[in-house]
Amino acid sequence: MKITIFIWIILVAIASWVLLRTKVGNWIFAAGGDANAARAVGVPVTKTKIGLFMAVGFCGWVLGMHNLFAFDAVQSGEGVGNEFLYIIAAVIGGCLLTGGYGSAVGGAIGAFIFGMANKGIVYAQWNPDWFKFFLGLMLLLATIVNLIVKRRAELK
């Protein structure tokens, strides 16, 4: 269980390196920002998106293997229906829903904050229904901060 943290730190480091230091990282941001403009300058948008889906599938496989090794059993529907929660974690980490902006470190920090709020409510012995309230509040605050950051970036 303790090795999971190191695995995810390594995956975040690799993703950050790819996004910030390689041509593929520039393609990812370009395809996410405006696919038509990216195509116009020669970015292989379709191949980039397929590669991203493959990378997400690989990360899902790593998570599934971790669950299998940690608990000796995994249900096939584990995590199904939680897509909204994962999107909220990414938005809390600073990724724009419109695309073209974000970081792997920000996503990891967003997931960390999200997980701490979830576990904190449980350990504080509050009613678990409050988690939905905090979920909405975190999403609202993250969206407002994203709007402010985006507007300030456009002014420069």
Residue 7 shares a structural domain with residue 65: yes
Residue 95 shares a structural domain with residue 151: yes
Give how many domains the chain has, as a whole number: 2
Domain final position from 75, 94, 110: 75
Task: Quote the DSSP letter at residue 44.
Answer: -
Domain final position from 75, 106, 130: 75
How many angstroms separate the CA atoms of 131 and 128, rounded? 6
How many angstroms separate the CA atoms of 119 and 64, rounded? 21
The predicted pLDDT at position 1 comes to 54
Residue 69 shares a structural domain with residue 89: no
The whole-number mean pLDDT for each consecutive block of 10 residues of the chain, a chain of 156 residues, reads: 82 93 91 89 93 91 84 79 82 80 87 85 86 84 82 78
Domain final position from 46, 75, 104: 75
The predicted pLDDT at position 15 comes to 92
> Kind and range of the H or E element at 61?
helix 45-71
